[in-house]
Structure 1
Amino acid sequence: MKALVCEEPGRLRLDDRPEPGSPPPGWALVSVSHVGICGTDYHIYGGKHPFLNYPRVMGHEVSGRVVAVGADVAIAPGSPVVVNPYVSCGHCGACRKGKPNCCTAIAVLGVHTDGAMCERVLVPAGNLYPAAGITLEQAATVEFLAIGAHGVRRSGAAPGATALVIGAGPIGLGTALFARIAGQRVTLLDTSVERLAFARDALGFDDTLLAGDGLADRVAAHTGGEGFDVVYDATGAAPSIEAAFAHVGHGGTLVLLSVVRDTISFSDPEFHKREMTLHGSRNATRVDFDHVLACLKDGRIDVAPLITHRTTLAGAADDLPRWASEKTGLVKAMIVVDAA
């Protein structure tokens, strides 16, 4: 089968690889339909990911159809599915607490193990969720949207809460969409005029702030000096994360959706003065995937404006490196492996 391999930072190759073979008990063989290109994939290509060995087949935003199943699998061949790429051990402390998204032995497709930028992939059947009622292209957006949905759920913020989403990339936009669905009053902050204009014109987020000089004063003016009830940082940038603490109001919450290599520091007196809650938000769980699927099916989420670029598995060898640096007009790029 064909697979797009990142052999080392800065080098992609379309390769011929052996077929995955018959699925063992509890597993399924999936014919890949669509794969979304994530910021993680660009980081892997650029050599900036902290948890990765090369060579690697990337791809963890995946939809497809079941080709074959092993013993004790109820899902039928031919079924359209969303792939949950977080393969957990099922028995560590986090898994026993119902948090397989932060399993101590987690293996994320396309990161810790080879992913789905290929024609077929073996996946535990428990990681496949039915995608009937939506297109397979829509289904390939479920994983990245679930990241934002999980962060919103982690916040615990009530309807009517004021929310600042920092970073208007795909994860930030997804977070903003689900914060809005949760009834939060959303403001978007970014360094890019273009991205804020997209959020306004394509997604209806009229309340925006442009990062830059005097931001702290502008946030204070925007909130009547009170700060935001909840702040979500989706930038993947340490300076932005450190600055975000100051945007949280007294009694408020900061949710960190991105991971950085750096050590993050903050003022403990300011943190305690606010009695702030700080949440890490990692990956997503089944309940988040189900919430996204329900929102896609009933029309609360329209992903059409978000998918701005498309390519094929062969074309991605040239397109992914270009999109890693040429961001104008790019929100979400999609690899169409098999549209049938």
Structure 2
Amino acid sequence: MKAIKIIKEGLVQSVELPRPDLRVGHVLLKIDYVGFCGSDLNTFRGLNPLVRLPIIPGHEIAGTVVEIGADVAPEIQMGMRVTVNPYSNCGRCAACKNNKPNACQFNETMGVQRDGAMAAYIAVPYEKVIPGDGLSAKELALVEPMSVGFHAVDRASVTDNDVVLVLGCGMIGIGAIIRAVRRGASVIAADVSESKLALARRLGAKFSINTAAEDLKQRLDELTNFMGADVVIEAVGRQETYLAAIDAVTFTGRVVFIGYAKEPIPFDTQFFVKKELDIMGSRNALPKDFEAVMDYLKSGTCPVDQLITAVCTPDGAHAALNAWVKDPGSVFRILVKF
């Protein structure tokens, strides 16, 4: 079968591999689409400290059940269109015991610490399979990245009384915007890309700030009467956005960090105390976040085609990643079609 491997920094190859064996409790999926995400891009660029190379990338999955192993729950049916929860959990660490398997100490995410889904077929434990419930294959490939943004909003306990600033309007930031809007919050989107900000406004952001052309703090003060945002969600992973989040949040506000910063960040910690902030990390997503995204997609209001920048074949994966590196601001999602 055909698969995609990131061999080393800057090198992606289409390779031939044997079709996976089907074990007890597993199902075989024929892959329809898999999304390239920011972690895959960073792996390609040599900037992902978590990855083990060489690796088959991909954890944003749309597939079809084509074979069912022994001891699989009866709700998993042949021909069913599905997505997959791509995270593993040990069941024994503190996070798992606290019912937060998304933050398992020993998690291995598909496409990062273990081989992912960019192959014609994959075999996965049936417990990780999520029935598609009438969603299209392209919609299912968007569920996982959106769920990460949904989870961050849940971490912040966003309500309709909140002003929420989202720093970064890529796919995960867009997910956070959608979830916050659906909870009734007043959302401000910030990014350097005007096209991404236009989409954020279409999806319900009340205001937008182009930080390439405007001073973030000055514009935020204008919009909030110098109060700042009740919640700031950082979905970029850069030093400047980490620091901006602390500056932008109101006194007694909440800050949620999703992006992985690539370098140590020197915080002026006096503001942690003076503002009495709740500062949180947000990792991956929980099953309820997947369900919430799928409920949203079923509403039919998501501009799916605008979220998918390009669709390529496995043989075109190297060129697609090269193009993304050259113009990262122009890409929401690249899907690989098998």
TM-score category (smaller protein): over 0.9
Number of aligned residue pairs: give it: 335
Q: Percent same amino acid at aligned positions?
A: 35
Letter in 2 for 1:27: H
Residue 12 (structure 2) aligns with: 12
Offset at residue 206 of structure 1 (A): 4.7
Q: Does 1:88 align with 2:81?
A: no
Q: Does 1:160 align with 2:164?
A: no
- C-alpha distance 38-164 of structure 1, shift in aligned 2 (>3 A): same
Residue 173 (structure 2) aligns with: 172
Structure 1 gaps, min length 5 = none
Structure 2 gaps, min length 5 = none
Letter in 2 for 1:55: P
**Which stretch shifts more, 31-40 or 206-215?**
206-215
The answer on whether the counterparts of 2:178 and 2:204 sit within 8 Å (CA) in structure 1 is: no
**How far apart in 2 are the matches of 1:93 and 1:16?**
40
Letter in 1 for 2:55: R
Map 1:244-323 to 2 at 5 A: 244-323=245-324
> After TM superposition, where is structure 1 displaced by more than 4 Å over at least 4 residues in a row?
none
Residue 330 (structure 1) aligns with: 331
The answer on whether the counterparts of 1:177 and 1:301 sit within 8 Å (CA) in structure 2 is: no
**How far apart in 1 are the matches of 2:218 and 2:333?**
33
Offset at residue 187 of structure 1 (A): 0.4
Residue 203 (structure 1) aligns with: 203
Q: What do you get for the CA RMSD once the two structures are aligned?
A: 1.6
Offset at residue 316 of structure 1 (A): 1.6
The answer on whether the counterparts of 2:228 and 2:249 sit within 8 Å (CA) in structure 1 is: yes
Residue 140 (structure 2) aligns with: 139
Letter in 2 for 1:161: D
- C-alpha distance 291-198 of structure 1, shift in aligned 2 (>3 A): closer
**How far apart in 1 are the matches of 2:121 and 2:177?**
33
Letter in 1 for 2:123: L
**How far apart in 2 are the matches of 1:30 and 1:194?**
35
Task: Summarize deviations over 1:33-52 as a string: whole Å, max 9, x none.
Answer: 11111011110111100111
The answer on whether the counterparts of 1:4 and 1:317 sit within 8 Å (CA) in structure 2 is: no
Offset at residue 188 of structure 1 (A): 0.6
- C-alpha distance 290-204 of structure 1, shift in aligned 2 (>3 A): closer
Residue 72 (structure 1) aligns with: 71
Residue 56 (structure 1) aligns with: 55
Give the alignment's TM-score, normalised by structure 1.
0.94
Give the alignment's TM-score, normalised by structure 2.
0.94
SS at 1:164 equivalent: strand
**How far apart in 1 are the matches of 2:299 and 2:124?**
28
Task: Summarize deviations over 1:279-338 as a string: whole Å, max 9, x none.
Answer: 10000010100111111112353423211211112222322222222346422111111x
**How far apart in 2 are the matches of 1:239 and 1:46?**
20
Residue 223 (structure 1) aligns with: 224
Task: Summarize deviations over 1:178-233 as a string: whole Å, max 9, x none.
Answer: 11111110001112233323433x53535111215643232222211111000001
